Structure 1
Amino acid sequence: MPKITANSVDEHRNQVHHAIFQSLASLMNERSFDAITMAQIAAGAGIGRTAIYHHFPDKDAVVVAFASDETARYIERLEAVLADTAGPAEALRVYIRHNLDSGEQFHVGLGPKLYGLLAPESRQAIREHVVAIEDVLRSILQQGLAAGVFAYDDEAAAMAMVHAGLSARQVDPTQVEDFLLRGLSTRT
């Protein structure tokens, strides 16, 4: 029987899952998803080769749980930084800055190559996590449109424009913010 290394079974499980997620992230930096085995993930997490199966049935399940954990932490931090914003323009500026600053901390964007290797139900589960993040942006845009701060005709296009701007990693974040806010016709 494995030794519980925490004050409770739930806390122990959370610690093991965190170690598994860290191992997966580390391995994903070294090699492709299809070249990673459950045994390698377990070894990196410091657990037995068969113990990992007490937590996850396969690699897809690890990725989905990892995405769920990352998304929950990401949205929690995003909502915390948005809580004190004064209006939709500032909220969008904070959303953009948070996304640009958090890109290195979170692995939410696991990449299109990975999605192609996952089973359809796993891809759908991960997509649901992406939608949760998109909902935050959608709410900001809708509030800005209703307040007359933003002007756009197509919400999906406005969201795509913002997310495309977030991929500009080599550009000064202030320039990205200004560009996107001008693109949405803010009147600040």
Structure 2
Amino acid sequence: MPRINAPTVGEHRAAQQRALLDAAREVLAEGATDIPSFGEVAARAGLARSSMYQYFKSRQHLLEALIEDAFPRWSARVAEAMAEVDGPDRRVLAYIDANLVLVAEGEHAIATALTQLAPGPEIDARSRALHEDLYTPLADALRELGAEDVAGMSELINAVLHAATRQVERGEDLELVRRTAADLVRPYVTDLVRRAD
């Protein structure tokens, strides 16, 4: 019987699966051009290759599990960062900043790899759902600020974010990119606060 490294079998299984997903995420973040092999993922997690089959039926199943794991994590991290600050103006800036931190941590590389490795209607639908989840708290903050065209302004703010994302991925200084992106958007949200007062 395998050794259990947690108080319960369920917790042990969850920890093992988490370790395998994290190992696969690391491989993807390093620029994998194919779905990671079971051997590569298991070795990275410090487990036997045969352990993979206890959690994933196939490499495609592993990829689907990564998709299920990655997209909600991104959205949750951004929502948490926005919830930690007071005022809708600060929430808009936190939205930009949290996304850039995730890009710097390699999350965008993982999401990009997933979309390239699993193109098709399912990944497209998940990608749209991710963006809708991300845009919702931004739109809510802009609405609370009294923005006249919430959809249009969300699009423009995301254009700034996408340009900043490209800068981070090119290796430009994260702190400088974060400050510059905030400097571009801050006057707008500050003006909305001033007009509301």
TM-score by length of structure 1 reads 0.75
Secondary structure of 1:4's partner? Answer: coil
Deviates more, 1:20-29 or 1:4-13: 20-29
Partner of 1:28: 28
Structure 2: stretches of 5+ with no match in the other structure: none
Number of residue pairs matched? 186
The answer (yes or no) to whether the contact 1:99–1:166 under 8 Å persists in 2 is no
Partner of 1:173: 178
1:1-188 equivalence runs, <5 A: 1-30=1-30, 32-34=32-34, 36-105=36-105, 107-112=107-112, 114-118=114-118, 120=120, 123-124=123-124, 126-127=126-127, 130-131=130-131, 134-145=132-143, 147-149=145-147, 151=149, 154=152, 157-158=155-156, 160-167=158-165, 168-169=167-168, 170=172, 171-182=176-187, 186-188=191-193
Deviates more, 1:3-12 or 1:157-166: 157-166
User: In proportion to residue count, which structure has more helix?
Assistant: 2
Aligned-pair distance for 1:7?
0.9
The answer (yes or no) to whether the contact 1:88–1:143 under 8 Å persists in 2 is yes
The answer (yes or no) to whether the contact 1:74–1:106 under 8 Å persists in 2 is no
Aligned-pair distance for 1:30?
4.7
Partners of 2:111 and 2:75 lie apart in 1 by 19
Identity %: 20
Alignment RMSD (CA, Å): 3.2
Change (3 A) 1:35 1:85: closer
Partners of 1:77 and 1:50 lie apart in 2 by 33
Change (3 A) 1:68 1:151: same
Structure 1: stretches of 5+ with no match in the other structure: none
After superposition, the C-alpha distances for 1:97-150 in whole angstroms (9 at most, x for unaligned) are 12222333352542545423326365257426624xx42433322442354246
